[in-house]
Amino acid sequence: MVCGKEMASLPCINDAYLLMEDERILSFGPMSSLPKTIEADVVIDATGKMVLPAFCDSHTHLVYAGSREQEFIDKINGLSYEEIARRGGGILNSARRLHDTTEDELYEEALARVNEIISMGTGAAEIKSGYGLTTEDELKMLRVIKRLRETTPLTIRATFLGAHAVPAEYKGRQSAYVDLIVNEMIPAVGKEGLANFVDSFCDKGFFTCEETERIIEAAAAYGMRPKIHANELALSGGIQVGVKHNALSVDHLEFTGDEEIEALAGSGTMPTLLPGAAFFLGMNYPPARKMIDSGLPVALASDYNPGSSPSGNMKFILSLATIKMKMTPEEAINAATINSAYAMGISDTHGSICVGKRANVLITKEIPSLYFLPYAYTSNLIDSVILGGRVVCRSK
């Protein structure tokens, strides 16, 4: 991971070569040092373009059924995210739709989103369950995620998020639902080996710190490390719970004060910011500048989901990070690549151009400078995407 001041540094080689073999990066450097004896099967001329590590998107909910644009209109008409949730909309709305969708249909919908994010330069993503809310439907989501991992070139990590919302049948009996998560869902997910990580929406109106701790402890028995939704709606204590349990990341963090920054300092827990959600919901952005200036690392992710961020465009996330959170383009790119890889536990193999790492890179169209990427915030500037050393997408 890169922290604090280091985040402003993004090493760059002008007029460079990059060699890939067997899915990995074999070597790179200035053109003047390219060995004369190399005979490549495929040569791509990137003159005038830039080659960057493919984006790593460490927080998505991209397996979902249908969409929720009616709630988008409700929000325009004045309802808040929490009010919509209290009326049985929001996550519960998506859970009902998912229940009525077959596993095959769900896979096809999610596959279209995976192909979409690959075309926008993403090479690795974390995908959460959490629209099932019954053992059977949570397993359905996680099996779809497994199938996406097996059938697409995207590197995928799976997170079990049974504690995303309390289902309607458990209204007023939240602790009984947490019992179900701990005693039935986690063992079922663990036995099938379907999730790398465990998550809980630890926030006002959703799950408490105590409930989150019970869930984290139960999942630890199956080797699932926590990645926690924290402090989106209030100073929930979720950041401290995550740090206490050595979470790989705590995510959202719109409500972060000095105590939370202190708790994160020196921990192995990556603060992960999701400015797409603050943008879409019209809420406050997390204090990224203060975090970085205090020496913390920061990761960026899209939060691609139907309710609070219906977009997986990581280039737009760079624009929001720079325009709305005052991160520099260099900081934002580090946050969306190597630090986001860390937040998925894959920074040894993904997130930067290093010899031996997986050959996941994006090639931009011809652009005047790196700064043009976040600046031209709606232009499609991705020319090609190479994952595992193979061109998987090329713009027309």
Ligand X SMILES: N=CN[C@@H](CCC(=O)O)C(=O)O
As a whole number of angstroms, the distance between CA 16 and CA 34 comes to 9
Instruction: Give, as ranges, the residues between 99 and 158 that touch ligand X (CB under 6 A).
Output: none
Secondary structure of the chain: what % helix, strand, coil (to 5)?
40, 20, 40
Query: How many residues sit in the footprint of ligand X (CB under 6 A)?
Result: 13
310 half-sphere exposure, CB direction, 13 A CA radius: 13
- Between helices 103-119 and 135-151, what is the axis angle to 10°? 50
The first and second tokens of residue 91, run together, are: 């996550």
At residue 147, what is the residue type? R
From residue 260, give the alpha-carbon distance in Å to each of 202, 235, 267, 285. 14, 9, 11, 15
The item of Zn ion, ligand X, none sharing an interface with residue 249, based on CB under 5 to 8 Å by kind, is none
CA–centroid distance for 193 within its chain: 21
Write out the DSSP string of 295-348: T---EE----BTTTB----HHHHHHHHHHHH---HHHHHHHHTHHHHHTTT-TT
Q: Between 260 and 303, whose beta carbon lies closer to Zn ion? A: 303
Residue 212 lies near ligand X (rule: CB under 6 A): no
Cβ 394 to ligand X shortest distance, Å: 32
Has 252 been labeled as part of a binding site?
A: no
Residue 180 backbone phi and psi in degrees, to 5:
-60, -45
Residue 199 lies near ligand X (rule: CB under 6 A): no
From the list 10-18, 306-314, 366-374, 379-387, the region that binds ligand X by CB under 6 A is 306-314
Q: Between 71 and 303, whose beta carbon lies closer to Zn ion? A: 303
> Which helix (DSSP H) or strand (DSSP E) does residue 51 occupy?
strand 51-53
Has 308 been labeled as part of a binding site?
A: yes
Query: How many residues sit in the footprint of Zn ion (CB under 5 A)?
Result: 1
At residue 135, what is the residue type? T
The item of Zn ion, ligand X, none sharing an interface with residue 138, based on CB under 5 to 8 Å by kind, is none
**Burial status of residue 54 (CB atoms within 10 A of its CB: 0-12, 13-18, 19 or more):** buried
Instruction: Give, as ranges, the residues between 280 and 309 that touch Zn ion (CB under 5 A).
Output: 303
Has 66 been labeled as part of a binding site?
A: no
Q: Between 214 and 227, whose beta carbon lies closer to ligand X? A: 227
- Binding mask 181-210 vs Zn ion (x if CB under 5 A, - otherwise)? ------------------------------
CA–centroid distance for 345 within its chain: 12
Q: Between 16 and 283, whose beta carbon lies closer to Zn ion? A: 283
- Between helices 135-151 and 91-99, what is the axis angle to 10°? 80
Cβ 4 to ligand X shortest distance, Å: 26
As a whole number of angstroms, the distance between CA 105 and CA 44 comes to 37
Select the residue interacting with ligand X from 109, 211, 260, 303 (CB under 6 A): 303
Q: Between 5 and 86, whose beta carbon lies closer to ligand X? A: 86
- Binding mask 260-279 vs ligand X (x if CB under 6 A, - otherwise)? -----------------x--
Of 224, 208, 204, the closest CA to residue 129 belongs to 224
Residue 232 lies near ligand X (rule: CB under 6 A): yes
Select the residue interacting with ligand X from 53, 89, 90, 226 (CB under 6 A): 90
Cβ 159 to Zn ion shortest distance, Å: 10
Select the residue interacting with ligand X from 2, 3, 10, 91 (CB under 6 A): 91
Has 77 been labeled as part of a binding site?
A: no
Q: Between 109 and 303, whose beta carbon lies closer to ligand X? A: 303
Q: Between 91 and 382, whose beta carbon lies closer to ligand X? A: 91
Has 229 been labeled as part of a binding site?
A: yes
From the list 87-95, 140-148, 375-383, 388-396, the region that binds ligand X by CB under 6 A is 87-95
Residues 98 and 290: beta-carbon distance below 8 Å: no
> What are the start-end ranges of the H helices in 78-201?
81-86, 91-99, 103-119, 135-151, 174-180, 186-192
Cβ 45 to Zn ion shortest distance, Å: 40
The item of ligand X, Zn ion, none sharing an interface with residue 201, based on CB under 5 to 8 Å by kind, is ligand X
Q: Between 17 and 131, whose beta carbon lies closer to ligand X? A: 131
> Which helix (DSSP H) or strand (DSSP E) does residue 240 occupy?
helix 238-244
Residue 42 backbone phi and psi in degrees, to 5:
-130, 135
The item of Zn ion, ligand X, none sharing an interface with residue 357, based on CB under 5 to 8 Å by kind, is none
Binding site for ligand X (CB under 6 A): 61, 90-91, 94, 201, 229, 232, 277, 303, 305-308
Q: Which residues are annotated as a binding site for Zn(2+)?
A: 59, 61, 229, 303
Binding site for Zn ion (CB under 5 A): 303
